[in-house]
């Protein structure tokens, strides 16, 4: 099979022939049809300090995918040859305290598909049967390929109730944008989005934001005034990891506000912990997706809302044949774009 392969530490991938994987008794083999390029994949391709300290080679990267089941191990249930599927990229141990309590997304021994085991930048992938998500309702292959990041957005947006609440979203990358669409779908009152990219702020409006803030030019508080908000925000989604984002979010939260944090900080930064305490704020870290309640929620929402389906699909900005992976990665790394998709039917 053709695959994007990193044979040794260092920048780049090789687009080469690799042996097709063979599924074990509890595994499923999937013909990959589409993959999404994630920021993590860019780190691995560029082989920056994070990748050098977290990734072992040789490796086939890639964890956002949609495909067709071609082989099922004898111990796998509820997955059949021919099923159209996506995959949960976190492979858990099943034996730690959290796994045994049904909190598999908090497994202490999680391994990542495309990080710690071969991933989806290939014509075929093998994953555990329990990690397969079968699409029982029709879904566009490109949307199916971004179920992983869409799940991050849904996990964040549903971490706290947003019905009738005022929501602040800091960071309008693809996941932040999808979280805006989910908050609008669920029933938030006002949604304000902040970023430093005019193009992404315009996309935030298209996702359903009531107002946007270019934080290189103005402050979040000005949007509150434009919307006639008498108090601070009830719920915050910190999606950027930017050093200034969380402190400004805390500054603009209502007493008792709740903050879901998905963005990974790029560097340490100061927080007014006195305000966190005296304003009784809740900060909750978000990682991946709840397994598998988030998957059920996103499938149900897309099945029942054409508006949400359209907004999620509009996040996809560029499409390339898998053989043109170099150009696709360069576009994804350029910033200011949505999700970039590789088509593995064109190798």
Domains of the chain, by residue range, sit at: 2-146+315-343, 153-285
Which residue is listed with tokens 């292959």? 141
- Cβ-based neighbours of 252, under 8 Å, separated by 6 or more: 168, 220, 221, 224, 232, 233
Contact 272, 248 (CB under 8 A): no
pLDDT over 80 at 266, yes or no = no
DSSP E strand boundaries for 155-311: 167-170, 191-195, 211-214, 233-238, 253-261, 282-285
Q: What percent of the chain has pLDDT over 70?
A: 100
pLDDT digit string, tens, across residues 98-111:
999 999 999 999 99
- What is the dotted CATH code of the domain comprising 2-146+315-343? 3.90.180.10
Residue 309 has pLDDT above 80, yes or no: yes
- Cα–Cα distance for residue pair 318/331, rounded to 1 Å: 8
| Homologous superfamily of 153-285 | NAD(P)-binding Rossmann-like Domain (3.40.50.720)
pLDDT tens, position by position, 41-60: 999 999 999 999 999 999 99
- Predicted pLDDT of residue 93: 97
Band of residue 90 on the pLDDT scale cut at 50, 70, 90: very high
Catalytic residue flag (residue 35): no
Same fold, 2-146+315-343 and 153-285: no
Task: Give mean pLDDT, residues 311-319.
Answer: 96
Confidence of residue 156 (pLDDT cuts 50, 70, 90): very high
Catalytic residue, chosen from 40, 156, 170, 294, is 40
- Is this prediction's pTM over 0.85? yes
Q: d(Cα 321, Cα 327) in Å, to the nearest integer?
A: 10
Residue-level pLDDT at 80: 98
DSSP string, 201-234: HHHHHHHT-SEEEETTTS-HHHHHHHHT-SS-EE
For 183-222, write each residue's pLDDT tens digit. 999 999 999 999 999 999 999 999 999 999 999 999 999 9
Active-site residue (options: 35, 43, 135, 155) = 43
Confidence bin at 337 (pLDDT 50/70/90): confident
Going by pLDDT thresholds of 50, 70 and 90, the confidence category of residue 172 is very high
Q: Is 132 helix (H, G, I), strand (E, B) or coil?
A: strand
Average pLDDT of the residues of the chain:
97
Calculate the CA 157 to chain-centre distance: 12
Spatial distance between the Cα atoms of 39 and 217, rounded to a whole number of angstroms = 26
279 carries an active-site annotation: no
**pLDDT grade, residue 124 (50/70/90)?**
very high
- Tell me the C-alpha distance between 272 and 281, whole Å: 11
């Amino acid at each position: 099979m053709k695959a994007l392969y990193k044979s040794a530490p260092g920048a780049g991938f090789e687009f080469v022939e690799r042996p097709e994987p063979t599924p074990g008794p509890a595994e499923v083999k999937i013909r990959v049809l589409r993959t999404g390029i994630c920021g993590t994949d860019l780190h691995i391709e560029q082989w920056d300090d994070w990748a050098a300290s977290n990734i072992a080679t040789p490796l086939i990267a890639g964890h956002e995918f949609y495909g067709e089941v071609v082989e099922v191990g004898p111990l796998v249930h509820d997955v059949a040859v021919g099923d159209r599927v996506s995959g949960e990229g976190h492979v858990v141990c099943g034996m730690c305290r959290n796994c045994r309590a049904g909190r598999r997304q908090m497994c202490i021994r999680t391994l990542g598909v495309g990080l710690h085991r071969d991933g989806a930048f290939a014509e075929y992938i093998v994953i555990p049967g329990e990690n397969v998500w079968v699409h029982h309702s029709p879904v566009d292959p490109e949307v199916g390929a971004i179920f992983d990041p869409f799940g991050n957005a849904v996990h964040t947006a549903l971490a706290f109730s947003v019905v009738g609440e005022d929501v602040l979203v800091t960071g309008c990358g693809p996941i932040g944008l999808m979280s805006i669409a989910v908050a609008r779908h669920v029933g938030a009152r006002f949604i304000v989005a902040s970023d430093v990219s005019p193009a992404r702020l315009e996309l935030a409006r298209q996702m359903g934001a009531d107002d946007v803030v270019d934080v290189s030019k103005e402050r979040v508080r000005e949007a509150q005034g434009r919307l006639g908000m008498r108090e601070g925000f009830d719920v915050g989604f910190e999606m950027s990891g930017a050093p200034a984002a969380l402190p400004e979010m805390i500054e603009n939260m209502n007493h008792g506000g709740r903050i879901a944090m998905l963005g990974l900080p790029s560097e340490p930064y100061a927080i007014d912990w006195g305000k966190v305490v005296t304003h009784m704020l809740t900060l909750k870290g978000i990682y991946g997706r709840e397994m598998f309640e988030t998957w059920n929620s996103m499938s149900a929402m897309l099945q029942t809302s054409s508006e949400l389906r359209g907004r999620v699909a509009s996040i996809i900005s560029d499409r390339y044949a898998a053989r043109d992976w170099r150009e696709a990665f360069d576009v994804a790394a350029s910033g200011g774009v949505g999700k970039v998709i590789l088509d593995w039917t064109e190798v």
